[in-house]
Amino acid sequence: MSNRMWGGRFASGPAEIMEEINASIGFDKRLAPQDIRGSLAHVAMLGQAGILPAEDVAAIEAGLKSVRDEIEAGTFVFKRELEDIHMSVESRLTEIVGPAAGRLHTARSRNDQVATDMKLWVRDTLDSLDQQAADLQRALSQTALKHAATVMPGFTHLQSAQPVTFGHHCLAYVEMLARDRGRFRDARARLNECPLGAAALAGTSFPIDRHATAAALGFDRPTANSLDSVADRDFALEALAAASICAVHLSRFAEELVVWTSAQFNFVRLSDGFTTGSSIMPQKRNPDAAELVRAKSGRIIGALTGLLIVMKGLPLAYSKDMQEDKEGTFDALQALSLCLAALTGMVQDLEPNAEVLARAAGSGYATATDLADWLVRELGLPFRQAHHVTGRLVGVASAKGVGLEELSLAELQEAEPRITDAVYAVLGVGNSVASRTSYGGTAPDNVRRQAQAWIERLG
């Protein structure tokens, strides 16, 4: 049996395997709210332009709202033989209002319809992700304010480098998320042009008002080229690119949580709410939530790569290949949403082990740079010479198995005779972080100001 929506050209129905590969209703039914919104805007415009009579417009609008209610109530039956969400909605609309339903598709194609639906879905999702990223920023900022003076080791190459504060570390991720949110907003701004009315690829001869449709759907303007309108999936690619960068940021933080919660580090503790046990080892507390955030970044990046490969060789305008934009985009953006929620929960849940952090901050000669800076600032040594003197003193301390602050003044003066006992003021980790008062530095007062500014900005 031919498909009654498009089967006039065909004498028989598709082969079973053709139906299997062609159908998208299993995943594009997620677009139902956006599809109905687009259809309501389209039929209203058709009525305003005098293309459809008022009675047909009223019947179609009432029918679409009934379909929407059924979908929201979970009573709508999605039929595989109808291929996709567009045909499913139109078929049910026909059952409700009769032949008038067939006029809904006047002056549009599934090509511009699906592009519009996808843009609406991606736009809605970017708005939601932006709010979730703000929630995570808020949680991090509140933690930063609470731990503005909690000293911890800062690392480069995962080796102890200089002392910082836990609050300062949290604020680093607040800044990353701010850039992520900027990318979400940029992607949203660029996608906010309406493809509806471009029809299959060449526009339409009906006197439609595309500006009215665009305004009704909250777009800034209609797209300017009908070919590009139906061929474009940049909006999905850009959303996935922004999501991938955000996922990398979340993965880096998740990796730190995995390391920090290990018995060897013991920097922070997560409660039972965000850890799991072992089926055989009763002592285990596994940071599974963080590990899954770390892993899901691969799925998100994979979706971006996959869609780039789908699009790279397509001629204008629409090709069925583009149906492959949906599953990856849906999955990736849903995964990012879950990761943002999970990390927000973990940030609100975690408790830094201040004593362990402070002890670790002082290990590995983390105040060596403070000593070199003191030699430059107080004695006027060129930095390279100060670096050399400090290196010698680190060697002496390492050979004795003590910290720099435990060397005697005489031992310090063997490397540089002009050193005075005033140098001990910069060798403690607390003094070290307090001295980093440059803008953006880790000094506790800096951290408090930055954290408070973010809290106020985020509301």
Q: How far apart are CA 66 and CA 121, in angstroms?
A: 21
By annotation, the residues acting in catalysis are 157, 278
The answer, yes or no, to whether the previous bond of 317 is cis (omega within 30 of 0) is: yes
Amino acid at 92: R
Per the CB < 8 A criterion, the answer to whether 160 and 153 are in contact is: yes
Q: Where are the alpha helices (DSSP H) in 380-428?
A: 383-400, 409-415
Angle between helix 54-73 and 32-48 (nearest 10): 170
Closest CA to 108 of 14, 243, 208: 208
Name, in order, each residue with C-beta under 8 angstroms of 230's C-beta and a sequence gap of 6 or more.
109, 111, 112, 115, 195, 198, 200, 201, 317, 318
Q: How far apart are CA 334 and CA 293, in angstroms?
A: 12
How many other C-beta atoms are found inside a 10 Å radius of the C-beta of residue 459? 6
φ and ψ at 64, to 5 degrees? -60, -40
Per the CB < 8 A criterion, the answer to whether 42 and 196 are in contact is: yes
Q: How far apart are CA 287 and CA 270, in angstroms?
A: 8
Q: Map tokens 């999955």 to a residue.
A: 331
**Residue 168 CA to its chain's centroid (Å):** 22
Amino acid at 396: V
- Concatenating the DSSP letter of every residue in 336-359 gives HHHHHHHHHHHHHH-EE-HHHHHH
Q: How far apart are CA 47 and CA 40, in angstroms?
A: 11
